[in-house]
Structure formats: C-alpha cells, structure tokens
Structure 1
Amino acid sequence: MKITNGYVNITSPGRNFITLKIETDEGIYGLGDGTLNGRELAVASYLTDHVIPCLIGRDPFQTEDIWQYLYRGPYWRRGPVTMSAIGAVDMALWDIKGKALNTPVYNLLGGKSRDGVLVYCHAFGKDIDAALEDVAHHKNLGYRAIRVQSGIAGLKSTYGVAKGPGRYEPAERGLPSEYEWETEPYLRSVPKLFARVREAFGEDLYLLHDCHHRLTPIEAARLGKELEPFHLFWIEDPTPAELQEGFRTIREHTTTPLAVGEVFNSLWDAHDLIRNQWIDYIRATLTHAGGFTPMKKLADFAELYHVKTGCHGATDLSPVCMAAALHFDTAIHNFGIQEHMPHTDETDAVFPHQYYFKDGYMYPGDAPGLGVDLDEALAAKYPYQRAYLPVNRKIDGTLTDW
C-alpha cells in the first residue's frame, strides 16, 4: 500500500476545523484533525505546502518512521503549528491502518483496557446560583463528572462562562475581544462556589475546576488548599507551565490534584512535571501533541510516576480528534478522565461518527479505524471565517494570561 494523495479540508460549521485526508492506492483513506484554535490557516498551509508532498509514495503503515521523519527531518522542531500538522498526519495513518486491518484503532494500541471512558462536562453560570442550576442540568443528563465555573461579582466576564444564553464557545468571529480580570475576587469566589455545589449535590459527583493559567504558583497553592474540604477531582492549569518548577510550590502546599497540559506539544513540556510528581493528570491532546505515536510514549512515561491522562476535549478540536482520543483512552492503562464538550448539530452532521455518550461514559464504537468520516459536500457549505480567542487584561490594563 502506498500514499497517493493528501489534501486539507477547511470548514466552519459554527467554528473552524482543519481536516487532513490521506488517500492510498488501495482506495483506503484516513482522516486527521489539525485544528489549532485561532491559527487554523497556518496549519493548513504547513500541511499543504510542506508536509503532504513528502508523504506521496510512502507506506502508510510506517507510522513510527514517518513521524520521526516529520519531527526530526525539518530540523525546526515542536511548536503548536508543526505538531498539529504532524498530529493530523499520524492520526490519519492510524485510521488507514485500522481500516486496512478491519479493526478499531484501540486494538492496534493494545486492545481495550476498559469498557467505557469516563468523561466530564462543563457547567457554568453568570453567578453561583446559575452555576448550580447548570450542574443539576448536566447531572440529569447522566454526567458523573462536572467541571464548574461561575461569574465573579464585579467582573464583566470570565473564562468558562458564556456571555449570553446557550453553549459556551470561547472563539469569537472577527478580531480578538478583550476580557477583564482581577485575581483576588476570583480567589474569594471559587471556594464559595464549591461549598455550595457540595451542599446541594453531596459527595457523589466528581467536581473539577479550570484556573486557565491565571494564577501565580503561590496563589494557586492558596486556592488548592482552600478547596481541599470539597474533594475536587482536580484543579486545571493553575499557573502557566513554561516554568515547570512552579508546580513544586503548589504541590508542597495542597493535596488537591493538579492537571495541566492542553497547550503542550511535546513530552519535554511535561518532563519535569511528571518525573517529579508535581502533577496528577497530563492533559495533552492527540492533535496538538503530534498524534498517537508520541502520545502513547507520553502515557507510558507518565505511568511510571503515577500520573494519569485527562486529554483536552473541547470544541476547538473536531470529532476526528474526539474519536481518536476515545480510542487512545480505551487502550492505555493509566487513563484518568476525558473532557467532553458536545459539538453542535451542524458539526456532527459534517463529521458523522460512531462514538457515543451513555450514563457518564463515552464509547468509541467498533468500526474499523477511527470510526469517523467527513461529509465534504456538506463541509463546503460552511466556509472558513476568521475567529480568535479573547485576550485578557487586568483591571489596571496589564495584559495577562487568558
């Protein structure tokens, strides 16, 4: 079998997605997700102009060699654009393998380690009362694990809370909007939020919270310590992780579990975090971290240090990546939890898939390959529209982490 062609599909059924399709001389094709929120066209160009020509004529079964060729060959390594492109290729090649061998991808990764994949959803509200209503709503949908965010008194907007009615989608059409932020009101508000959630719903729900890189290590340590009575499953991205040693400060002051890594694109981003056991969950994604080939190595390395996975799964990744994540989650031993933000009906129609949700768990299905497809005729009805994530400023005007 040889690769004969590859091309990129750009579609925007509510938000932008980049999908790589790799074709072979035996009529089998594979799909990979290369979506990079707010920088989609950079990945599309990288694939079209620099990667796809290098794939023609290669054996799609040689996933390890092709991955190393794309990572080491250009000399310039890593970075979100490069790794998202490599991730799309690797995902598509594993999809081809599964289809050619007539088996789901999870069987190629070692087979099932579990029957279902525990997932968590997002609940939010403009204030604590509204957040409690949304928690109740998602509990009634069958979720056993719920991330909870709420608005903060005195701030016009905050991460994880929609500006109006309906689902939360952080990417906005047009140029970046600006949010405002102040840390101290947030630190006072979050413990009150989770005290109310536990009071209303008891101890049975797994509860999570996302700080979205907004705290210093000592501020995150304070928050983690104050949240200990409410037994959170984790606090996510408490501080920017460029300085990995910052997590040592947090770890030394709290037993609240720590999760980080949705912006990581290499094992080296998490190397010290894992080997020093400063985190409990690694959240890298198959798209942004380069696909199945490196993510399996990352999971195996993490397992040595009692670190579990908790892959990012927001709507800034397409159903192709969600399908891939569920195969990965099903197979690896040290799986922890999978983020699940349901896509819109329009997106699901463009990407028909076999995976499904039931009673708090998701299942990849048993179709050969990834079990997801692309309706290209329907995708063509949703042209690309420029969109960006917001930026964040403190009340005094200082640009800070969004």
Structure 2
Amino acid sequence: MIIQDIKVFVTNPGRNFVTVKVITDEGVYGLGDATVNGREMAVATYLEEHVKPCLIGRDPHKIEDIWQYLYMGVYWRRGPITMAAIAAIDMALWDIKGKVAGLPVYQLLGGKCRDGVTLYAHANGETIEDTLDKAAQCIEQGFSAVRLQSAIPGLSETYGVLGDKKDYFELQGNRPLPPEQDWSTSKYFDLVPELFAKAKERFGNKAKFLHDTHSRLTPIESAKLGKMLEPYNLMFLEDASIAENQENYKLIRHHTTTPLALGETYNTIWDCKDLIQNQWIDYIRSAATHAGGITGMKKIADFAAVYNVRTAPHGAPDLSPICFAAHMHLNISTHNFGIQEFVGFGNEECQSIFKHDMKLENGMILVSDAPGLGVEFDEQEAAKYEYKRSYLPVSRLEDGTLWHW
C-alpha cells in the first residue's frame, strides 16, 4: 500500500474548516483536520505546496516515521501552520490504519480506559442569573461539569458570551476584518467572585464548575483571582495568563491552590515541558489539530502522566468533527485523561458535511466502534460552502493599549 494522492478541502458551513484526505492505491483513505482559525489558507497552501509532494508514494502505515519526517525533516520546525499540517496527515494515517485493521483507532492506542468520555458544557449568559439558568439546563441534560462565563458590566462585549448570536458558529463566523473588544481587569474582578458565589449557593455540589480567563490577566492578577476563587472549589481555572514565559505559572502556582489549565494554543511538547515537569499546571489543554495530531498528543499525554498532569483537550468550534473524533479515541484510551470540552457537534450545515455516529449520553460521549476514526466527509456537500476570510477578535485595554485576546 502506498499514498497515491492527498486532497485538501476548505469549506465554510458557518465557519472555515481545512480537511485533508489521504488516498491510497488500494482505495482506502483517511481524514484529518488542519484548521487554523483565521489562517486557514496558509495551512492549506503549506499542505498543497510543501507536504503533498513529499508523501506521494510513501507507505501510509509508517505513521511515526512520516511524523518525524515532516517535523525533523524541515529546518523551520514547530509553529501553528506546520504542526496543523502534520496533525492532519497524522490523523488521516491513523484513520487508514484503523480501517485496514478493521478496528477503531482507540483499540490501536491500547484499548479503553473508561466506558465513556466525560464532557464539560458551556453556560454563557448576559447576566449572572442568565448564566446560572443556562448552567441549570446543562445539569438537567446530564452534564456533571459546566464552564461559567458571564458578560462583564461596562464592557460592550465579553469573551464566550453569545449575545444576540444563536451559537458559536454565528458568533465566531465570517468576520472580514478583526473586530476589536475592550478589556478591564477591575470590572472583571467585580463580576467573577459573585458569579461563583451565586453558583455555589444555587447548585451546591450538583456539578463541578470551570472558568476561562482567556489569558487576559498578568501573572500576579491570575494569582489574585485564583485565591479569590478558592472557596468555590473550581475544577480548574483556564488560561489565566499567557505563558510564553512558562515561569509565569510558577508565580501563580505559589499563590493559589485553584487548579490551573493551559495549552490550547500549544503546538508541541516543548511549549508545555516546563509547565508539566514543574507541576505548575494540573491540566494540559492541547488540541490534536494544533499539536501534531494523535501522535503529537500521545507524546504530550504520556509525558504529563509522569507528573500527575491530566489531559483536557481543547474543544472549540473551530476544530472540526474529525479533530473531535480524534480526541475521543485519545480520551477513551489515555489513562491520565481528565475531561473534554464540548460545544456541540456543530450546526446543521456542519453535520451534513461531517458524518459520524458518536453518541452523547448523560454528559458523556460513547465512542464509535467504526473502523478508523469513524467520521465520513461529504465532498459534494462541502463544495456548497465556499471559504470566506475570517478573523478572531483583537483586544484592547480601555485606554487603547493592545492586549491579549
């Protein structure tokens, strides 16, 4: 068996996705997700111009060798574009291997460590009461963990809050230029402790709660927030601060016992090595699409297990159902899995393109036993939705200073 062709599709069923199809001479094919939100055409071109020509004629079963070839075999290593391209090829090769073996990918990774994959849902509201009402709905649906985000009074927009949009696809969809949002740490601090105090009062121990700061705080501000939230026993505080300087989290860790989660923008194990080995975080949140696929994620998870760090893969709507399926196979077979972020299976258009039989029951995903990843891609349906240039927002402090979004 050899790789005969590689096709790259860019489609927009409400938002852009980059899908890779690796086709073998025996007719077996595999699928991968290469989406880099706001830079979709960069990774599509990288795949077409620089990856595809190098892989035609190679043995698709040599997954580790091909991974190292695409990573070590170039001078310009790492980065979101390179690693997303590697990730998509890697997922597709695991998909092929599973189909040839007649087994779901999780069986090739060592088999099940648990019956299902525990998820956390999102409750996003315009007010604290609105957020808590939506949390109640999540709990009624069977979710045992819920992320709470509420609009900040005095700011025109707040990260994670849908406003007048019906879902994440409409909220973060086609923006021809980056929108700009204001940020105020003091106004944020006025809101968040009250949000979790009222959640504790209303729900007690009915569910675990999480919160995403989305890297808006300095390390000492994150330390202060973590300390303020200690009485409410969060499952974790996500992306409290940027950690390009990983020692930022040493400062945060020394001031609070609130569990910390980080890593959705990380591309390799090197981005989180110090954070993990120094036990400055409790959950590593890398995504298969952005961290080198199933192979890359396994390297991170196995390293994290040595230091009692659990996995909690990113589950944003800019990751296609192919990536979500890859996460499910990893999660079900990874001993130190913690929890999976879940924002739904996408809108109707998305579900018409990416077809699968993953089942949501009682706040858990029951992983497909179909051979490979268990996802099919409808090329004709995908062709109906053309690429549209789109951007994530830009954040500024109230005095106009550019800030972390």
Query: Does TM-score exceed 0.5, indicating one fold?
Result: yes
1:5 equivalent to 2:5? Answer yes
TM alignment of 1:107-118, pairs within 5 A = 107-118=107-118
1:284 equivalent to 2:286? Answer yes
- Measured after TM superposition, the shift of residue 165 of structure 1 is 4.2
- Measured after TM superposition, the shift of residue 172 of structure 1 is 4.0
Q: Does the 8 Å CA contact 2:15/2:172 hold for their aligned counterparts? A: no
CA distance in 2, matches of 1:18, 1:180: 30
Per the alignment, residue 382 of structure 1 pairs with 385
**Structure 2 residue ranges without an equivalent (≥5):** none
> Which deviates further from its counterpart, 168-177 or 64-73?
168-177
Q: What is the identity, as a one-letter code, of the residue corresponding to 2:310?
A: K
- Measured after TM superposition, the shift of residue 320 of structure 1 is 0.3
Per the alignment, residue 72 of structure 1 pairs with 72
Per the alignment, residue 397 of structure 1 pairs with 400
Q: Does the 8 Å CA contact 1:37/1:171 hold for their aligned counterparts? A: no
| Deviations 1:169-191, CA, capped at 9 Å, x for gaps | 33442111101110111012101
Per the alignment, residue 313 of structure 1 pairs with 315
CA distance in 1, matches of 2:189, 2:331: 33
1:324 equivalent to 2:287? Answer no
CA distance in 2, matches of 1:250, 1:171: 34
Paired residue secondary structure (2:286): coil
CA distance in 2, matches of 1:316, 1:225: 32
1:352 equivalent to 2:358? Answer no
Paired residue secondary structure (2:122): strand
Per the alignment, residue 178 of structure 1 pairs with 180
Q: Does the 8 Å CA contact 1:171/1:390 hold for their aligned counterparts? A: no
Per the alignment, residue 207 of structure 2 pairs with 205
CA distance in 2, matches of 1:157, 1:197: 22
Structure 1 runs of 4+ off > 2 angstroms?
168-173
When normalised by structure 1's length, the TM-score is 0.99
Paired residue secondary structure (2:356): coil
Q: What is the identity, as a one-letter code, of the residue corresponding to 1:20?
A: V
Paired residue secondary structure (1:38): coil
| Deviations 1:72-104, CA, capped at 9 Å, x for gaps | 111110000000000000000000000000000
- Measured after TM superposition, the shift of residue 129 of structure 1 is 1.3
Q: Does the 8 Å CA contact 1:105/1:327 hold for their aligned counterparts? A: yes
Paired residue secondary structure (2:19): strand
Q: What is the identity, as a one-letter code, of the residue corresponding to 1:306?
A: N
| Deviations 1:314-367, CA, capped at 9 Å, x for gaps | 110000000000000011110000011111121011100121211011122100
Q: Does the 8 Å CA contact 2:214/2:238 hold for their aligned counterparts? A: yes
Q: What is the identity, as a one-letter code, of the residue corresponding to 2:121?
A: C
CA distance in 1, matches of 2:207, 2:109: 31
Per the alignment, residue 100 of structure 2 pairs with 100
**Structure 1 residue ranges without an equivalent (≥5):** none
Paired residue secondary structure (1:207): strand
| Identity within the alignment, % | 57
CA distance in 2, matches of 1:187, 1:167: 26
Aligned CA-pair RMSD: 0.9
- State the aligned residue count: 402
CA distance in 2, matches of 1:183, 1:171: 27
Match of 2:270 among 260, 265, 268: 268
When normalised by structure 2's length, the TM-score is 0.98
Q: What is the identity, as a one-letter code, of the residue corresponding to 1:391?
A: V
Per the alignment, residue 119 of structure 2 pairs with 119
